[in-house]
Structure 1
Amino acid sequence: MAVVMDPSSSAEDTPPKHWLDRIGIPRALAWGFLGVLVFMIGDGVEAGYLSPYLMDQGVSRERVALLFGVYGVTASVAAWCSGALSDLWGPRRVMLLGLGVWGVFQVVFLAFAVPTGGYWPLLVSYGLRGFGYPLFAYGFLVWVTAVTPRRRLGSAVGWFWFAFTGGLPTLGSLVASLAVPRIGAYGTLWLALGLVLAGGLIALLLVREPLGARRLAPAGERPVATLLGSLAIVWRNPRIGTGAVVRAINTAPQFGFLVFLPVFFTETLGFTLSEWLQLLSAMFATNIFFNLVFGVVGDRIGWQRTVAWCGGVGCAATTLLLYYGTRWGGDDYALAMVLVGLFGATLAGYVPLSALMPSLDPAHKGQAMSALNLGAGASAFLGPALVGVFLGPLGVQGVMWIFAGLYLASAVMTLFLRLPEPVAAGAPGYSSPPGPASRARNESPEA
């Protein structure tokens, strides 16, 4: 598919004047990044203690696991729908829907399900609440990709992931650690609702950028075609399908690690549980910082190169270092801190994928982001499934090699994610510029 060169895109050559634009945050969306951060802090408050809290209320371990499993499924579906619905309704309405869903079902969960202790009310209210945060957060991500000049898109999505992961689980867990001793576990869940509402209102009331209020799909495309297109694009545009697979590989080992690394670090290597939790926090903290770094790096050396080398090859190397380095060092805390930090850093090498994917099909950015989010949701199941199948026969060492192999495979697949070549005005194949939502921004480090 040829990309039409929009004459207005020459504005990208103009150096950004405002300091927000210079650091990679689109000035028109600046309040949205803050809103996402506050929203995700509220969403992440429960991450570290909801499971034991529910078990203390008499819910069995198996039922808690099912509760979280249903939540994961609904969140994955919402992640996929966020892009398609943004194409259909515009990102602002999708974010409003996500905020409403989160708020309504959190109230039902806290005011009715938790006090009565009935499992079905817990399952239904908490499960349906899972639709909330992906619609809000990923709806804003689509908005970012729709309005940010391509030359600075890598930096912009880096700031998005900084806000997202800064809230969930990092600052959300910190808020919980301070609030639970003072107002109790139940009161902290109400505090989470207040934070989510505050973040949502910051983004929706203070961001005035007009494109987010309009549908992003091409004029005349029917709603059913838009929704089905968010799946069909995976095989209609093979590069989008390949990118979705790369996104699934990106965080599959991360979710898999949470299944077996706690036992490996505490029982095999000899770390205390407190030390392991500190190491895990360090991994995420490093990842947050490098989300920004690799967003900027992607804009400088190319999104594709950054994902392939810093993400794919980098994660393959640091995954093996994480295993063999800790086996050699045993319970050497300083060495382990360095190794988990290296993995967290290279994991951020995939950040430019959020800029690369919508640029592969500029006329259907929402559908491309749906495919990306579908890969993200699949990773939550892929990683633990691989651990469940291979940990027994192959052990920790074998699983680490499987994960390293997947990362190398993702690096090879990324080489096929070439951006379409721009077509100059007047050249064969040129057509009149499309509407703002589907314009292809052609100034790219990949060119």
Structure 2
Amino acid sequence: MSSTHIDPRPEAAPARRHWTERIGIPRPLAWGFIGVLIFMIGDGVEAGYLSPYLLDQGVPGQRVALVFTVYGTTASIAAWFSGALSDLWGPRRVMWTGLAIWVSCHILFLTTALTTVDYRLILLTYGLRGFGYPLFAFGFLVWVAAATPQKRLGTAVGWFWFAFTGGLPTLGSLVASGLVPWIGAYSTLWVALGLIVIGGLIALLLVREPTGHRRLAPEGERPISTLLGSLSILWRRPRIGVGAVVRTINTAPQFGFLVFLPVFFTETVGFALEEWLRLLTVMFATNIVFNLAFGVIGDRMGWRRTVAWCGGVGSAVSVLALYYVPVAAGPQYALAVLVAAFYGATLAGYVPLSALMPSLAPEHKGQAMAALNLGAGASVVAGPAIVAVFLEPLGVAGVMWIFAILYLVSAVMTVFLRLPGEESDGTAAPAADRVRATEATVPQRE
């Protein structure tokens, strides 16, 4: 007679995931997201009042504009370097560099440039400080892209953009609105420094995940080749180049809007300046929430499909609504709030691009992120440039149609952004298949 052996040992219960994992934040990187949020609050404190403060100190308007132009230029360069140097040094060292630059230049800005109102020192110290926040924040974004499992990467980058935009400009401006009337504009800038230090140290001292401590480029690759590769990848990997163009289109209209929409909504539609500013607040607050939502949706619906339909097509529709609804309805504030929120939401549809790009070049994630950040920097220039060229001959309606067409073009361009393992008919492969396909192309490290 045979007997059946019964193993008396109970089956091991599946390990419970930490609450951060359940909401899509990689547990080893959790403190980094908190650090980035606090850091970007500090960086955003000045956003709403530094320009008028410099004007009050006697700096002419044209010179103030040049200060911010130089700052934007250095920030754009640093955005590219954040990926290139992460390949070379590792993301953590890049973040330390960004923190050191921000703190040292801001101290000089406060103690020498502003106290003497020396324009050359203001231009130098504030301009150089522009290298700081992209190296820190986007260095962490590269760390997230390199260390997060593929099937949860979209949600993780959604949390990154939630922290980034939650700090700059949203909570940063809120902090300033409370502190400036209480302690003054100059003292508030010192508070910003404290927030930067606290956020930076939280991220750098409490995140122990090992991927960010080492270079991301393959061993033996020369430093010059690594840095140049962050540019040459645009044509070595044409899909990366296409992705950089899509990223440029993503926020070019956003920066262009800041040039002419204040006049359109106040003089043409008939809102007060305060009402326009509240519309802008609604737009960015909605964007913050949907940055996270579209990260999650991208992991389920497919990154490329989310960028194409929710980002490209959605933004094309919302841009036209942002113009035609107020023109047709007049100064109906509730409708204007709805269309502003609609644009802020669709703008977030591009969030999965931050997961898609490094997955297109898994052996050179830093270079791919450098290309993505280069596109982000280019959008700062492209949007206002389109407005400068076309606003006078075509008017507001013509510029809005140009932006809508560009969004549709970006949706079509996503056809070329296919991951390894995607179906030939363009549908996204299941997440597990994408992971296996990527793992097959990446040399495994010990």
5 Å-filtered alignment, 1:83-98, equals 83-98=83-98
Residues 1:237 and 2:237 aligned together: yes
Q: Is the 8 A contact 1:256 1:386 kept in 2?
A: yes
- CA shift, 1:147, in A, is 0.6
Q: 2:416 aligns to what SS in structure 1?
A: coil
5 Å-filtered alignment, 1:157-168, equals 157-168=157-168
Residues 1:434 and 2:443 aligned together: yes
- CA shift, 1:420, in A, is 1.8
Q: Is the 8 A contact 1:16 1:22 kept in 2?
A: no
Structure-1 residue corresponding to 2:9: none
- CA shift, 1:364, in A, is 0.2
Q: Is the 8 A contact 1:98 1:133 kept in 2?
A: yes
Residues 1:301 and 2:310 aligned together: no
CA distance in 2, matches of 1:369, 1:340: 29
Instruction: Please list every run of 5 or more consecutive structure 1 residues that lacks an aligned counterpart in the other structure.
Output: 1-13, 438-447
Structure-2 residue corresponding to 1:202: 202
Aligned-residue RMSD, C-alpha: 1.7
5 Å-filtered alignment, 1:16-27, equals 17-27=17-27
CA distance in 2, matches of 1:258, 1:265: 11
Q: 1:415 aligns to what SS in structure 2?
A: helix
5 Å-filtered alignment, 1:290-369, equals 290-369=290-369
Distance 1:19 1:276, change over 3 A: same
- 1:279-334 alpha-carbon deviations (Å, 9 max, x no partner): 00000000000001100000001000000000000000000111111111111000
Amino acid at match of 1:378: A
- CA shift, 1:431, in A, is 7.5
- CA shift, 1:17, in A, is 1.4
Structure-2 residue corresponding to 1:8: none
Amino acid at match of 1:284: F
CA distance in 2, matches of 1:357, 1:22: 24
Q: Is the 8 A contact 1:325 1:339 kept in 2?
A: yes
- CA shift, 1:421, in A, is 2.9
Instruction: Please list every run of 5 or more consecutive structure 2 residues that lacks an aligned counterpart in the other structure.
Output: 1-13, 423-431
Amino acid at match of 1:196: I
Distance 1:218 1:200, change over 3 A: same
- CA shift, 1:22, in A, is 1.5
Distance 1:59 1:211, change over 3 A: same
CA distance in 2, matches of 1:354, 1:253: 19
CA distance in 1, matches of 2:117, 2:444: 52
CA distance in 2, matches of 1:131, 1:253: 24
Distance 1:412 1:186, change over 3 A: same
CA distance in 2, matches of 1:167, 1:124: 25
Q: Is the 8 A contact 1:90 1:216 kept in 2?
A: yes
- Superposition TM-score, scaled by structure 1 size: 0.92
CA distance in 2, matches of 1:358, 1:211: 15
CA distance in 2, matches of 1:148, 1:431: 17
Distance 1:53 1:417, change over 3 A: same
Structure-1 residue corresponding to 2:211: 211
* Equivalent pairs, count: 420
Residues 1:144 and 2:149 aligned together: no
Q: Report which structure shows greater RCO (CA 8 Å, sep ≥6).
A: 1
Larger-Rg structure: 2
Amino acid at match of 1:292: L
Q: 1:176 aligns to what SS in structure 2?
A: helix
CA distance in 2, matches of 1:42, 1:432: 40
CA distance in 2, matches of 1:336, 1:258: 16
- 1:326-362 alpha-carbon deviations (Å, 9 max, x no partner): 1111110000000000000000000000000000000
CA distance in 1, matches of 2:401, 2:162: 29
CA distance in 2, matches of 1:56, 1:343: 34
- CA shift, 1:211, in A, is 1.1
Distance 1:164 1:433, change over 3 A: closer
Residues 1:377 and 2:377 aligned together: yes
Q: Is the 8 A contact 2:325 2:339 kept in 1?
A: yes
Distance 1:213 1:265, change over 3 A: same
Amino acid at match of 1:21: E
CA distance in 2, matches of 1:226, 1:84: 7
CA distance in 1, matches of 2:299, 2:305: 10
- 1:373-428 alpha-carbon deviations (Å, 9 max, x no partner): 0000000000000000000000000000000000000000011100023999xx9x
Q: Is the 8 A contact 2:362 2:441 kept in 1?
A: no
- CA shift, 1:210, in A, is 1.0
CA distance in 1, matches of 2:213, 2:165: 26
Structure-2 residue corresponding to 1:394: 394
Residues 1:220 and 2:216 aligned together: no
